[in-house]
């Protein structure tokens, strides 16, 4: 017997934390607008949303970890932007931020996504924050809500199959 699980993308019943990097704030604000739009479009009523601003992208994993530890949120959406420069700084940050967020997400306690734009130029970043490339903030919000619903759905899979194991 095969059982297939698919989570929906309905934000109702969730408390959402959006954590935004102030560094590259122009992009961060557009990502935030996209995430808020996604939450509004994927709910039938009001959803509690808390927005947290942190200094930079490097600070996102720590902030996300603390929000998850504090409890109360079922969805956490980190948003930020890294633009490649002429030094190794970009590569170091991109790697560490991705590893840090992946570590928190792998705990499976709440729906977390990766809303970090990594781009070679400001123009590329702007495209991924609402121009031609869609809005990465919107996409991250949808993914985080879906994962939160996924975790809810697998909390007791045997109950969903009528007690069969």
Evaluate if pTM is beyond 0.85.
yes
Annotated catalytic residue, options 14, 42, 73, 89: 89
Fold of 15-152: Rossmann fold (3.40.50)
Domain range list for the chain: 15-152
Quick: pLDDT tens for 24-46.
Answer: 999 999 999 999 999 999 999 88
Backbone angles phi, psi at 51, to 5 degrees: -110, 125
Quick: pLDDT tens for 45-87.
Answer: 889 999 999 999 999 999 999 999 999 999 999 999 999 988 8
Respond yes or no: is residue 42 known to be catalytic: no
In angstroms, the first-to-last Cα distance of the chain is: 10
Q: What is the dihedral of CA 82, 87, 89, 94, to 10 degrees?
A: 50
């Amino acid at each position: 017997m095969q059982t297939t699980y698919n989570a929906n993308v309905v934000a109702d019943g969730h408390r959402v934390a959006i954590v935004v990097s102030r560094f590259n704030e122009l992009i961060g604000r557009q990502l935030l607008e996209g995430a808020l739009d996604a939450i509004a479009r994927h709910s039938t009523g009001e959803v509690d949303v808390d927005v947290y601003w942190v200094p930079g992208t490097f600070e996102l994993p720590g902030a996300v970890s603390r929000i998850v530890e504090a409890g109360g949120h079922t969805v956490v959406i980190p948003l930020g932007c890294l633009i490649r420069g002429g030094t190794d700084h970009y590569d170091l940050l991109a790697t560490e931020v991705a590893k840090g967020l992946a570590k928190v997400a792998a705990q499976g306690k709440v729906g977390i996504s990766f809303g970090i734009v990594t781009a070679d130029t400001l123009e590329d970043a702007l495209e991924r924050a609402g121009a031609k490339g869609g809005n990465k903030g919107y996409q991250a919000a949808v993914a985080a809500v879906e994962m939160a619903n996924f975790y809810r759905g697998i909390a007791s899979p045997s109950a969903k199959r009528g007690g069969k194991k």
